[in-house]
Every structure is written in structure tokens, then in C-alpha cells.
Amino acid sequence: MKASVLTLMATMSLAPGQVWAAPEQAPSLAAHPVGYLALAIFGLAYVLVMLEERIHLRKSKPMLIAAGLIWVLVAIAYRAAGANGEVEEAIRHNFLEYAELFFFLLVAMTYINAMLERGVFDQLRIWLLGKGYGYRRLFWITGILAFCISPVADNLTTALIMCAVVMAVGRDSAAFVSLSCINIVVGANAGGAFSPFGDITTLMVWQKGILPFQDFFHLLLPSMVNFLVPAALMHFALPKGQPSSPESYEYVIRPGGLVICALFLLTIATAISFHQFLHIPPVFGMMTGLGYLKVFGFYLKRHEEYHWNESFETPPGDSSGDRTQGRRAFDVFSHIARSEWDTLFFFYGVIMAVGGLGFIGYLGMMSATLYGDLGPTFANVMIGVISALVDNIPVMFAVLTMNPAMPDFQWLLVTLTAGVGGSLLSIGSAAGVALMGQARGQYTFFSHLKWTPAIAVGYGASIWVHFMING
């Protein structure tokens, strides 16, 4: 039993219910110097991540090294015990988990970069500023949109979109951008907690058949409280007044901008449909959506180059022959290149490092201690706190693997806490990590940490509301 739990912890991408057969000679590393050293490496790497804005070391660098060292240590220990194949198989499963996340994010970032280049968010900024909204009203508009969109578009994609809007609207106020990014992370994570499509953890619970589809919507009111309480507390720290008016209110969207928006919505619908009706991983729908953008990009590039060549008149005496000087046609690959690579590599390091610790057995030990000794209510509340430090995917997988005997009320509780607990720290959720890269220098680990007590009040209030209406 110990061996099967050990290997199950490494398979974050393995569908719930599947089991590996670990060899009898597989060593137990949880109480081994290798295990302690792996924990120390992971802890040191996370300290460096949290100090990124102080020491100016990109967060991906320590996590990449930590992931490599942890698996090297595990491989050496298993090789000495004659169990080489298990480590290779575990690494492949963890890498598959990362590959799905990588390509999902890459497509979302590419679309956002394309919409930025076409002036979509500048137009939205001009429209919002034209309404005369102040910073405080804009704070609530973007936060509510994040909460309402994430149940359908997933919390990560929603956060990326709304952050781009915030940075376009409030680029003159770093305080507004910082607080709005915190609000977006909390809103997106809370909105994703009551929908099977809003977060990977809710999807895992639904796929395993723990809860039927409609039961997740019992978490709507607790999720709303989780978002509204910290937003109300942050409201008073927002700068007063309103952003500076744009130079003009002219239409600034470049040709094809609205079509790209429509293609992005179609891409999201494709990803959801692939998973819901065909049981195909959502990333395949996102990659298909990238194909939509590439085909349209081909048309757009040819269209722009044709009109430039037809309308351009060479100034007298200019023999350069450069008919497109100062202009740049649409290019999908340039938008791919501008993706936030530091964030993408950071995700690799986190998933592989946490997968290594799970393979050693620490996640299984944590789950057994929580549910076996402390009881389901305390354990499920702590799962949310733990997910602020460790990615909620392996934490939820550990809970599903242990499969403690709990009523539906408790399964709803752990679904809620695992979904919203990541909001306590900026590194606790994919949305927070992605926004640290997108709003670099304005939304940071410490700017989020300053408001962790307010977010914790919302976390506790949402649990209390869940007990009141669902208990």
C-alpha cells in the first residue's frame, strides 16, 4: 500500500482511479537523507522566488534548478535500489502535466498579445475613460468581470485578459494596477471554484464522479463572499480620482482586431466542447484555436501588405525602395515570441519539483496525517492554506488518492478551499503567477502579501457561509 501511494503522488496528470504497480524494491525516501535534502532544495528555491523583487533574480531560474536536482537525487536513490523504470515513468507523467499547461498558456498569451497589438485593449481603455469612471469604479468593474468570466473561460485565461485591461486603463497609477491585479486574482479564483470548468481542481473532482455537475453551483454564494469581502476592504486603499483622459476618443482598433476577439471566444468554446462532449483534453481545443489565428493571420498579413504597397508613394528623392518602412504586418510568430517565458518556465519548475516531492511520498503523508488524525473539516480548511504554498493540483490529487470517507458537504468544502486558498499568496495560483509576469514591477509577491490578511478574512467568511447554507 505504501508503494502504491508513493507512485500515485507522482502522477498529477494521471486520471483519478488509475494505479501504478510499484516494484517491491522501491526505496522509501520520505525519512531518507535524500528526501530531507529534496525538501531543503525546494524550500530554498521558493524563498528565492519570494525575494524576486528584492534580489532581481527571475523566479524561473531557482525553480528550474530545484526541479532538476530533486529528480536527480530521486533517480540516484532508485538506481541504487535497482528500480530505474519507476523514476522515468514518473517524470514522463509529470512532464505531460506541464506540457498540457504550457501549450494552453502559450495559446492564451498569443491571443492576448495579438489583441494588444491590434489595439483592442487600448480601445476598451478609451471607452472606459470616456465613461468618466474613476479608479474605484474601474476596480469593481474589472473584478466583477473576472468573477463572472472565469467559470466559463477558466481562472487563468480570465486573469490574463482582465490584467491587460487594467494595465491599459490605469497605466498612470501603479497603486491602482497593483490592487486591481490582487482583486482580479481573488475574483478569478473565486469564480472558478463553483464551476467544473473554472479550475483544474474542480475538474478533477467532477471527472472522478465525486460530485455531480449541478452540485458545484452550491458554492456560488460562498465564492461570491470570498471575492466581495477582500474587495470591500481594498476599496478604501484605492487612489481617488480617475485616470487621465486620452488624447482623443477615436476608434483605434486596427483591422482584424474584433475578428481576433471572436476567434479567441471560439477557441475557448472549442476547448470546452472538446472536453465536455468528446472527452479530449482542453489543450487540444486551444491548439486548434491557434490554428484559427494562424489562418486568419495569413489573410491579414497579405491584406495589409497589399494595401500598403498600393497606397504607398515614395517621397521625391527617396531611392531606398522600402515601401513598408515604419510599418509592420501582422505576424503570429512575433506574438508567440512575446509570451511571458519566465512564467512558463516557472510553471515547469513548480510542477516537476512538486511532482518529485510527491513521488518521494510527502504529499501522501500530509494527506494521511490531516484526514486520519485531525478530521475532515480541519483538514479541508488546511488544504486551502497549503494550496497557497504548494500548487493546488497535486494537493487535490493527493486528497482524491486518499479518497477519505466524507459526505458531499465536505467534498464541496475541499473543492472550495483548494480553489480559493491559492489567492492567499500570489504564488498560490496559476492566475497569480501569470499576473506577476504580465504586470512585472507593479504586481509582486510582496504587494499581494500586504493584503493577505484581508484575503484571509474573505477565506474564513466563505467557509462560514458554506456551513450556513450547505451544512
Is residue 165 within 8 A of residue 124, CB to CB? The reply is: yes
Supply the range of the domain harboring residue 45: 33-241+253-305+331-470
> Is 5 part of a structural domain of the chain?
no
Residue 247 belongs to some domain of the structure: no
Q: What is the pLDDT of residue 394?
A: 64
Residue 118, in any domain of the structure: yes
Which range (118-122, 177-181, 296-300, 374-378) has the least confidence?
118-122
How many folded domains does the chain comprise? 1
Highest mean pLDDT out of 76-90, 206-220, 249-263, 281-295: 281-295
13 within some domain: no
Rounded mean pLDDT, 358-383: 82
Residues 335, 338, 341, CA angle at the centre, nearest 5°?
A: 130
Asked whether residue 2 is domain-assigned, the answer is: no
- Whether the predicted pLDDT of 321 surpasses 70: no
Between CA 219 and CA 413 the distance in angstroms is: 9
Under DSSP, is residue 16 helix (H, G, I), strand (E, B) or coil?
Answer: coil
**Calpha distance 427→46 (Å, rounded):** 9
Distance CA 1, CA 106 (A): 39
Residue 28 contacts residue 6 (beta carbons within 8 Å): yes
In a domain, 179, yes or no: yes
Among candidate residues 350, 301, 389, the one with its CA nearest the CA of residue 97: 350
Place of cell 489543450: 283
Could you tell me how many residues make up the chain? 471
Q: Would the pLDDT of 451 be above 90?
A: yes
Q: What is the mean pLDDT of the chain?
A: 81
For the entire predicted model, the pTM comes to 0.72
**pLDDT, average across residues 424-449:** 86
HSE at residue 18, side-chain half, CA atoms within 13 A, is 10
Report how far residue 111's alpha carbon sits from residue 293's, in angstroms, rounded to the nearest whole number: 8
Q: Cα 144–145–149 angle (5° rounding)?
A: 120
Is 447 within a domain?
yes
pLDDT at 114 over 80: yes
Collapse the DSSP code of 120 into the 3-class scheme (helix H, G, I; strand E, B; otherwise coil) and give the result: helix
14 in a domain, yes or no? no
How confident is the model over 13-60, as pLDDT tens digits?
333 333 333 344 567 788 889 999 999 999 999 888 877 767 888 888
User: Using an 8 Å Cβ cutoff, are 269 and 86 in contact?
Assistant: no
Of 226 and 427, which is predicted with more confidence? Answer: 226
Average pLDDT over residues 363-369: 75
